[in-house]
């Protein structure tokens, strides 16, 4: 069987795509998979690191607001449609999967026009522009939240949850390896700070302002900053001068990072939320308020209303984030409650169910 998986732009689109690919390979190791991404975007580096081949389309996204940048959009779209047609013709997939983001538009269109069945995976409770546009041609739409009939034809929808890489699912087996990788002491609590695949400015600035308080409390800190803040973070860590704090622009071994975390501070991107449910760590979520339709707050609220996570708003983070984290670290009972509640929301079979749906389309 041959499958094209297309999309990307951010980790929240790339990692579910990799999870689906891994699952297809687990079910049938002879499955041939080709990724199609957008030139210059994050997937062009992250997908090969996960062991898959990717080709890039010369595509740019359309901005939601009216801007001059949109003038070049039809031209680039035309070029990437031609390139997508060529890729489809040469690879001859049995099915094409779109995970949202720039590249999945032209690729799924080209596949549909050739009569190849397509499947869309939507990560959020609010559908992305590309996925909405592609829905009428898709045979199947796998979603993570109820109520997606508001965006997609009801008969095509299957509620599977978001596909998470299986190593993250089995993070608990990686505690020792994680301590070694991050050079941590077993006796101290550890805070894992994750800003999503690009890092989060508000979280970074809040941590910068209060890092000394973690150090004074004897807490170990794994701080993922994103590429744009890492040099500043290194200065901050050097100024604090404690071996308890480790800063990274990006963490490739998320299974090990979750494994060693006593608590997690995180943005509320859809995949981060799905992963936190699977690893069952007590979490403080700081939703990114400018995400379209404020969907990160909706993602976070789906946990908070079930007493499965704490929420600190972006606006209050500078004053409240460190204090909330220190209070949670001092309260093992609250940690246990959050952990057991968040686990009830996990969807451990999502990747398998989506892979099965992909395979059904080829029959
Ligand atoms: C700013 C923005 O619009 N963000 C969107 C983006 O978030 P973003 O790309 O941050 O995505 P998510 O939080 O959903 O997922 C991040 C993914 O990257 C991985 N990861 C992250 C950091 C790291 O150092 N290493 C690593 O491997 C995580 O394990 C996870 O698999 O896509 C999500 C899913 O469509 C949306 O819900 C988010 O709103």
pLDDT at 66: 66
How far apart are the CA of 269 and the centre of ligand 1, in A? 5
Coil, strand, or helix at residue 58? coil
How far apart are the CA of 12 and the centre of ligand 1, in A? 4
For the record, the structure tokens of 244 come out as 């308890």
CA 144 to chain centre: 13
For the record, the structure tokens of 63 come out as 């901005």
- Per residue, the 3-state secondary structure of 149-185, as one string, reads HHCCCHHHEEECCCCCCHHHHCHHHHHHHHHHHCCCC
- CA pair distance 271, 48, nearest whole angstrom: 20
- 260 neighbors 187 (Cβ within 8 angstroms): no
Protein residue closest via CA to atom 8 of ligand 1: 12
**Ligand 1 atom at minimum distance from 194 CA:** 22
Protein residue closest via CA to atom 6 of ligand 1: 12
> Ligand 1: which of 37, 271, 283 to mutate, judged by most atoms within 8 Å of the beta carbon?
271
Coil, strand, or helix at residue 94? coil
Protein residue closest via CA to atom 11 of ligand 1: 12
> Ligand 1: which of 127, 165, 272, 273 to mutate, judged by most atoms within 8 Å of the beta carbon?
272
Looking at the DSSP assignment, which residues form a beta bridge with residue 98?
6, 120
**Domains in the chain with CATH codes:** 2-162+348-361 (3.40.50.2000), 167-343 (3.40.50.2000)
- CA pair distance 312, 88, nearest whole angstrom: 45
For the record, the structure tokens of 331 come out as 């309260």
Torsion-angle region of 183 (φ positive above 0: left; ψ -120 to 50: alpha; else: beta): left
**Phi first, then psi: what are they for 35, rounded to 5°?**
-90, 145
- CA pair distance 52, 283, nearest whole angstrom: 32
| Cβ of residue 35 lying under 6 Å from some atom of ligand 1 | no
Q: pTM of this prediction?
A: 0.95
Q: Which residue numbers belong to the known binding site for UDP-N-acetyl-alpha-D-glucosamine?
A: 10-12, 124, 165, 197, 251, 270-275, 296
Packing angle of the helix pair 104-113, 73-91 (nearest 10 deg): 50
pLDDT at 363: 65
- CA pair distance 25, 40, nearest whole angstrom: 27
How far apart are the CA of 100 and the centre of ligand 1, in A? 13
pLDDT along the chain (363 residues), means of 10: 96 97 98 97 97 91 64 77 96 98 93 97 92 96 95 97 96 98 97 97 97 98 98 97 97 98 98 98 98 93 96 98 98 98 97 98 83
How far apart are the CA of 10 and the centre of ligand 1, in A? 6
How far apart are the CA of 47 and the centre of ligand 1, in A? 14
- 271 neighbors 12 (Cβ within 8 angstroms): yes
Looking at the DSSP assignment, which residues form a beta bridge with residue 53?
34
> Ligand 1: which of 194, 268, 269 to mutate, judged by most atoms within 8 Å of the beta carbon?
269
Protein residue closest via CA to atom 1 of ligand 1: 291
How far apart are the CA of 125 and the centre of ligand 1, in A? 14
- 282 neighbors 334 (Cβ within 8 angstroms): yes
């Amino acid at each position: 069987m041959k499958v094209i998986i297309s999309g990307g732009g951010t980790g929240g689109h790339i990692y579910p795509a990799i999870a689906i690919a891994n699952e297809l390979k687990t079910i049938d190791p002879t499955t041939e998979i080709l990724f199609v991404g957008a030139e210059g975007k994050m997937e062009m580096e992250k997908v090969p690191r996960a062991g898959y081949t990717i080709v890039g389309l010369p595509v740019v996204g359309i901005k939601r607001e009216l801007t001059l940048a949109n003038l070049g959009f039809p031209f680039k779209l035309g070029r990437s449609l031609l390139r997508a047609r060529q890729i489809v013709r040469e690879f001859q997939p049995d099915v094409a999967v779109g995970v949202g983001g720039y590249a999945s538009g032209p690729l799924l269109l080209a596949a549909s026009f050739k009569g190849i069945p397509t499947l869309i995976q939507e990560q959020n409770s609010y559908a992305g522009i590309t996925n909405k546009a592609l829905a009428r041609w898709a045979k199947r739409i796998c979603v993570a939240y109820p109520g997606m009939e508001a965006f997609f034809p009801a008969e095509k929808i299957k509620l599977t949850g978001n596909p998470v890489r299986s190593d993250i699912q089995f993070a608990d087996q990686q505690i020792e390896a994680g301590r070694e990788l991050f050079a941590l002491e077993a006796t101290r609590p550890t805070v894992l700070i994750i800003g999503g695949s690009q890092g989060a400015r508000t979280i970074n600035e809040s941590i910068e302002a209060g890092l000394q308080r973690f150090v004074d409390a004897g807490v170990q800190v794994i701080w993922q900053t994103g590429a744009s803040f890492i040099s500043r973070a290194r200065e901050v860590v050097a100024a604090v001068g404690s071996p308890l704090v480790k800063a990274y622009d990006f963490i490739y071994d998320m299974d090990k990072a979750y494994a060693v975390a006593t608590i997690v501070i995180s943005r509320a991107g859809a995949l981060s939320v799905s992963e936190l449910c699977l690893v069952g760590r007590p979490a403080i979520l700081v939703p990114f308020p400018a995400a379209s339709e404020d969907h990160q707050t909706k993602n976070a609220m789906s946990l908070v209303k079930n007493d499965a996570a704490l929420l600190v708003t972006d606006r209050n983070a500078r004053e409240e984030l460190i204090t909330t984290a220190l209070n949670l670290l001092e309260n093992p009972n609250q940690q246990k409650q959050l952990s057991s509640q968040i686990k009830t929301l996990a969807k451990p079979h999502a990747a398998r169910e989506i892979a099965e749906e992909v395979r059904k389309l080829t029959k």
